[in-house]
Structure 1
Amino acid sequence: MSVGEVLGVSTLAGARLLAGESGLGRIVQRLNVMEVPDILAWVKPHELLLTTGYPLRNTPQSLGRLVADLDERGLAALGIKLGRYVDELPEEMIEQADRLGFPLILLPNDVGFDDILNQVLTDILNRQAAALVRAEEAHRALVQVVLAGGGLDEVTAEVALLLDVSVAAVDGGGRILAVAGPPDQVASLRESIVREGPPLPPAGATGSAVRLPPTSTSAGPGARARGGTMASVPVIAGGHHHGRIVAYSPAGVIQDSDLSILERAATVAALAVTRQEAVNAVESKYRADFLRDVLTGRAGSAERVTARARAFGWDLERPVTVLVAELDPEGDERTAQDRLVTCWTATMRRHDQRGAVAGFSHEVVAVLDAAVDADRVAKDAAAAFADVPPATFSTGTSRPCQGAETLPEAYSQALKAARVGRQLHGRGAVAHFDQLGVYRLLSLVNDTEELHAFVRETLGPLAADADAENADLRRTLQVLLETNLNVAETARRLHFHYNTLRYRIGKLERLLGNFTDDPHLRLNLTLALHVLRMRGI
C-alpha cells in the first residue's frame, strides 16, 4: 500500500499529516514499533514506523537527525503520538521531512498500535493474496495460449483483456508485430511507439512503467488529449533480444503486479517467437531443398515443379531471371550467410512477391520476374547487407528464361557470372552472363578435362602453382599480353627494371615458344590464362 492509502484506513481516520506530503506515494510493505533507543539497527525498507516517542523523551535533540536516518534506510513513513513523551516535533524535523518527502504522521491518541498493525497488515496481505490470485489466473490464461498454439496476436489479446489496457508486441527495430485493445487506446499506443519508441527499463531491471505527459493528437476543437501510463518489458529467448511487450493505459496506473503479468506475457511471447523461428527454419529448409532440386533438374516434371512452387507462393512459369549472390571470401561465413539470406528475402519481398528465394550453404539464389531490374534488386540487397561490414557478396545474373526445365541452365549461368565477375572486378561485383565476353564461351565448354589439358599443353610448366618462380613468370606473361607486349608499360606495372623484363621474356620464349612474333600462340596463351583464372568456376 502507499502511505496515502494507509492514511485512508478506518483506524487512522483521525490521523493528520504533519510533513512530507510529496512522499505519500511511498510504498508500505510492513509495520514496526519503535520503543527502544537502538531501533535504527532493526528497521527495514518500506516500513511504516510507529512510536510514542518514548525512546526520545530524554534526548529531544536527536529528533532532528531521526528523519534523515530513517529516510536513508528506505523507510516509508513515521507515525508518532504526541503529548505523552514528546510534546511537539522540532521545526527542524518538520522542514527536513518536507525537504526529503518523508511523511510524518500524527497518530490519534485513542487508537492502539495493535489496531493499526492489524488493519494495515491485513489490507497488505489481502492485496498480496489478490495479486497472487490474479497472477495465477494470468499464468493459466497465458499457458493456455501456448498450449493452443497461439502466437503474438493471441498473447497481446489475452494481456489486453487481463489488464484492461492496449498491448503491442514490438520487434527489436521498433516495428509493431501485433496489437490488441480498445481502438482509441490502440491508436494512441501506435502513435507513441512510432514517435517515441517503447520505454526502456533502467539498468538491471526487467521492465519499466513511464508516465506519459498529456498531449494533443490533433488541432482544433475536436482535439483529443492523450496521456497515461506506458509500460514495457523485454522479450528475451536464447540469450537474444527479440523486442518488447508494451502496454498503454490512458487513465489508470500500471502497477507492479501488472508489470509482473507483462513479464509472464513476455516469456510466452518468447516461446511464440522461438517456435515461429523454428517453423520458419524448417520451412526455409524445405524451400531451399526444393529450389535446389529445381535448379539441378531433380525436381521432377514441369507440372510437378509448377504445382509445388505455387504452394510456396512462387511463379516459375513466367519469364524469369536467376540471380546468385555468393559470399566473398575472408568473412565470418556462418553469421554472414544468415544475414545474406535475410537481406535477399526482404529485398525480394519488396520487388517481386511471387519470386523464389532460398539460401544454400554458401550462396543465395533468387528467381526474379524478368521484367524487374535485376541490377536494382542486387543493389538494394547489397545496401541492406552493407549495414554490418566487413562482409560482401558478388552477384551473378543469368539470361532471361521461361519454364522450369530451363532453370538449371540459368542457374549455371548466374553462378558462373558471380564467380567470374569476382575474378574480373573484385569483391562485391555484379556481373551478367551475357557480358562475360570470352569467359562466357569458355564456360560453355562442358568437358573441363579438355580445358585443363589445353592449359597444360599451352603453358607447360607454368600451368602449375607448385613452383613459385613459375607462378611469377606466369604473372609476367599475363601482364605482357594485357599490355600487347609493351615492354616499358609491363616493366612499370611489375616494378621491374627494363633489362630484368627482357631477361624474363627470353626465358618465357624458351619455355613456351616465340610468342612475341606468333599471334596465334599469343591467342592460345591468352585463352589458357583465362581458363586458369576460371579454375574452380
Structure 2
Amino acid sequence: MNLLTVKDILQHSPFADAELIAGFDGETRHVRWLHVMEILDFSGLLHGKEMILTTGVGLAKNEAAPRTYVEQLVEGGASALCIELGTYLEEIPAEMVETANKNQFPIIVFQHQVRFIDLSQTINSILVNAHHQNLKELDEVSHQLQILTSKPNGYAHIVKFLYERTGLPIYYIPVHEDSLCYPGSVKTYLKEFEGRVRDYDFHRAYSGTPPFALKHTFVLAQSIDMMGQSWGVLGIQLPHGEKDELLSLMLDRATLAIGNHLLRTKYHEEQQLHQEQTWVNDLINQKIPNENQAMAKIGNYKKGNHEMSYRMVVLTITNQGESFSGSAEDIHFHIALTLRNYFERKNYRPFICRMKSYQLAVLIVKHAESSRKDTLNPKELEESLNTKNAGGMSCEFGISQPYTCLTAAHSAFEEAEQMIQLRQMSQKKMSAFFEEAGIFQLLMNVKEETYIEHFVAQHLRPLYQYDSSHAPYLLETLKVYLRNHCVKIEAARELHIARQTLYSRLDKIEELLGFDVAEQPKKRLAVEIALEAADMYK
C-alpha cells in the first residue's frame, strides 16, 4: 500500500547496523516521518506515526523515568524509538524494554555514533516519495470509483474494485438492503460485522475511529452519509489493528462514491415513484375513463385465457417513532422501497402512490402467466416493515380482494381502507384481507352507524340489561355457544362449566331473547350479526 512500516525502514541501508531489541510485535506500525527529539517534555509536539531519533541525553541525566518516557511516546502515537548508545547511554534500562514489549512499541539501538541528519534525510526522502505515490494511487482510485458509480448496482462493483485494489476483504452493510462482502469466502465474518454495526446507531460517525477487533482480525469502518443521515457502513478487513492512512483515504473515497451512486439511484426511483403516484392516484379518483387507457401504463398483462389480477394495499403510519431522524419524504421513500422489495419477491409488480402525509396506496399487479400461488403474508410484511424502518415507527394496513378491471381501483382502495378501520376498531386482531372479513364486508358499508346501533339494541338489549344488573356471563355464554355451532358439550368444555350450568344459562338467554336459538336459524343469524357488530363498535 506504499506506506512504510518500521520493518520496511529497518531494511534500508542507513539502518544496516541497527538492532531491534524490544517491541518486536510492533514492526507493522506505520511511519510517516523521522524526527530528532532530545527533549523529554514533548506533550503536544507529536502528530502520530513519528519514528523518534535520540542520543538518550535526557535519560542519562535522569530527567525522566525510563518507563514514563516510553509510555508518553506510546500515548503520543509515536511509531518507534531509535537510540544511539555510547555517547550518553551504555545500555537500555530493563524497565524501558519491559514497557516497550508490553505496548508492542519498537525500540531500535545503534551500538555506535551515527549521523542523524543522514538517517532523517535518506528515510524522509523515501517517505515523501511514498506519500507522493499514495496521492497518485488515490487519484487513480478516485477516477475508477467515479466511473463505477454510473453502472447498475454500482455499489457491488465498487466493493469488488476496492477488494481487487487492496487485496483485503471488503464489507458493505446498507441500511435498507441486504449486506454484501467480497470475496465470498469471508461470509463467515460478514454476519458478525453486520451484528457489530447494527448494535450501534447507523448515524454514528465511524470516520476517524480506529479499527475494531472482529474475531481474529480487525475492520476499519466508515459510515456512508448523505442527506443528513447514514445509508450504511463500508468496512475493510485489516491483518492488524494499525490504522492505515492510505486505506483510510481509499475507504473515504469509496464511501463517497457509494453515496453518489445511491443518490443517483434515489433520484431515478423517485422519478418512477412520481409517475406511479400520478397513475395510481388517477385510478383511485376515477380520472381514467376506460380500461384501455388504464392498461396502457402497465402493458398487456392478459395472456390467452388468463387475466391480469391486482389488489390494492393501503398502509397507514400510525406512529412515526421518535428515533427516526429523516424527513417525512425520507420516511415515505424508505417505506416505499421496503414495499417494492417485498412485493417483487412475491412475484407482484407494485405501483406506489402517496395519498396523504401518513398514508401510502400500493396497487400490486400479478402477471397473468404467473403460476405461483398467492403468497402474500401480512405478518411477514409487517415484520419486514418493522425490520427495515426501525425507530419505533408502526403501521397498519389493509388488503383488498383481487380485481381484474383497473377502473375498479377506487373500490379496491375503499376496501383496503375499510380493513384498516376494521383492524383498528376490532377487539381481536383481524386478517388484513378484505375477502376474509366475512359479515364485516356488509357492516362496514352501512353508512349510518345509528342503523347498526339500532340493530344491535333490537336483538341484544335484553341480554345487555340482564348482564348489567347480574353477573356478566350471558353474552359471553351465547358467543361461545354459537361459536361451537350450538353443540352444548363443546360450549360447556370451552367455558369450563358443568353442562347443567350451561343448560340453565341457555334457558335464561332464550327466555330473554324470546326464541330457541338452536331451532330458529334466521333469528340466530341476526343475533350472530348483532354480536359481531357490537364487538366492532365497542
Sort the TM-score into its range (normalised by shorter chain): 0.5 to 0.7
Using the alignment, how far apart are the partners of 1:121 and 1:406 within structure 2?
77
Corresponding position of 2:506: none
Corresponding position of 2:398: 395
Corresponding position of 1:432: 434
1:240 paired to 2:232 = no
TM-score for the superposition, normalised by structure 1: 0.67
Using the alignment, how far apart are the partners of 1:487 and 1:232 within structure 2?
65
Corresponding position of 1:189: 186
* Structure 2 unaligned blocks of 5 or more: 322-326, 473-512, 515-525
Deviation at 1:15, TM superposition (A): 1.3
1:83 paired to 2:78 = no
- 1:53-96 Cα distance to aligned partner (Å, 9 max, x none): 44455549955654345445443333223233333334444444
**Which letter maps to 2:143?**
R
- Choose the corresponding residue for 1:365, options 362, 366, 387: 362
**Change beyond 3 A, Cα 1:170–1:94:** closer
Deviation at 1:151, TM superposition (A): 2.7
Corresponding position of 1:287: 276
Corresponding position of 1:115: 118
Using the alignment, how far apart are the partners of 2:347 and 2:304 within structure 1?
10
Using the alignment, how far apart are the partners of 1:391 and 1:187 within structure 2?
35
Task: Please give the secondary structure, in 1, of the residue aligned with 2:133.
Answer: helix
Task: Please give the secondary structure, in 2, of the residue aligned with 1:402.
Answer: coil
Deviation at 1:240, TM superposition (A): 2.4
Report if aligned partners of 2:23, 2:107 keep a CA contact under 8 Å in 1.
yes
Q: Looking at CA atoms only, which structure, 1 or 2, has the larger radius of gyration?
A: 1
Deviation at 1:211, TM superposition (A): 7.9
* Structure 1 unaligned blocks of 5 or more: 181-185, 215-227, 445-450, 464-473, 496-515, 518-522
Task: Please give the secondary structure, in 2, of the residue aligned with 1:430.
Answer: coil
Deviation at 1:13, TM superposition (A): 0.6
The 5 A counterparts of 1:83-482 are: 83-109=86-112, 111-146=114-149, 151-165=154-168, 167=170, 169-172=172-175, 175-176=178-179, 186-194=183-191, 197=194, 205-206=206-207, 209=211, 231-247=220-236, 255-310=244-299, 318=307, 320-327=309-316, 334=328, 341-354=336-349, 356=351, 358-361=353-356, 362-367=359-364, 369=366, 376-385=376-385, 391-398=394-401, 400-416=402-418, 418-419=420-421, 422-423=424-425, 430=432, 432=434, 435=437, 437=439, 440=442, 443=445, 480-482=457-459
Deviation at 1:158, TM superposition (A): 4.1
Corresponding position of 1:67: 70
Task: Please give the secondary structure, in 2, of the residue aligned with 1:122.
Answer: helix
- 1:311-342 Cα distance to aligned partner (Å, 9 max, x none): 99999972535334342757669587666545
Corresponding position of 2:484: none
Report if aligned partners of 1:323, 1:365 keep a CA contact under 8 Å in 2.
yes
Using the alignment, how far apart are the partners of 2:239 and 2:64 within structure 1?
48
Identity %: 16
Report if aligned partners of 2:86, 2:113 keep a CA contact under 8 Å in 1.
no
Number of residues of Structure 1 aligned to a counterpart in Structure 2 = 459
TM-score for the superposition, normalised by structure 2: 0.67
**Change beyond 3 A, Cα 1:7–1:316:** farther
Using the alignment, how far apart are the partners of 1:156 and 1:421 within structure 2?
44
Using the alignment, how far apart are the partners of 2:292 and 2:62 within structure 1?
99
- 1:198-254 Cα distance to aligned partner (Å, 9 max, x none): 87599864266578778xxxxxxxxxxxxx876543222223222233446899x99
Using the alignment, how far apart are the partners of 1:176 and 1:133 within structure 2?
31
**Which letter maps to 2:162?**
V
**Change beyond 3 A, Cα 1:488–1:261:** same
Cα RMSD (Å) of the superposition?
4.9
**Which letter maps to 2:340?**
T
The more displaced of 142-151 and 271-280 is 142-151
Using the alignment, how far apart are the partners of 1:298 and 1:315 within structure 2?
29
Deviation at 1:126, TM superposition (A): 1.4
Task: Please give the secondary structure, in 2, of the residue aligned with 1:281.
Answer: helix
Structure possessing the higher relative contact order (Cα contacts under 8 Å, 6 or more residues apart): 2
**Which letter maps to 2:132?**
A
Task: Please give the secondary structure, in 2, of the residue aligned with 1:308.
Answer: coil
